[in-house]
Amino acid sequence: MLTTFIQILGVIILVMALRALFAQDRAARMLYLNAMSFGIAGIIALYIQTPFGAIIAITFFIASTISSNAIAYSIGRIKNEIILG
């Protein structure tokens, strides 16, 4: 059952990677990369089933959250540049 969840997350990450590769819009590309990072945090948490694995997953999740905030800020700046430019 656990490997099924890991496989599903792997497929989702692969789809997001392909969508990020072929996306024309920079904002969409950033969102796909953000979804990939959350999926990777989930795989880490499911695959490494030790307390240290949990610490790694939590650390990666926090870093992903910080990067998603940076992505949201960048998207806001892109929208402002489009309006002003």
Q: How do residues 9-29 score in pLDDT, each as one tens digit?
A: 999 999 999 999 998 887 788
How wide is the angle at C-alpha 16 spanned by C-alphas 27 and 64, nearest 5°?
70
Containing domain of residue 42, as a range? 2-84
Tokens (6 digits) for 58: 């939590």
Asked if residue 75 has pLDDT above 80, the reply is: no
Tell me how far apart the alpha carbons of residues 18 and 41 are, in angstroms, rounded to a whole number: 19
pLDDT band of residue 83 (cuts 50, 70, 90) is: low
Tell me how far apart the alpha carbons of residues 71 and 84 are, in angstroms, rounded to a whole number: 20
All residues at 6 or more sequence positions from 41 whose CB lies less than 8 Å from its CB, including other chains: 57, 60, 61, 64
Domain count of the fold of the chain: 1
Asked if residue 84 has pLDDT above 60, the reply is: no
Q: What is the mean pLDDT of the chain?
A: 84
How wide is the angle at C-alpha 32 spanned by C-alphas 72 and 37, nearest 5°?
85
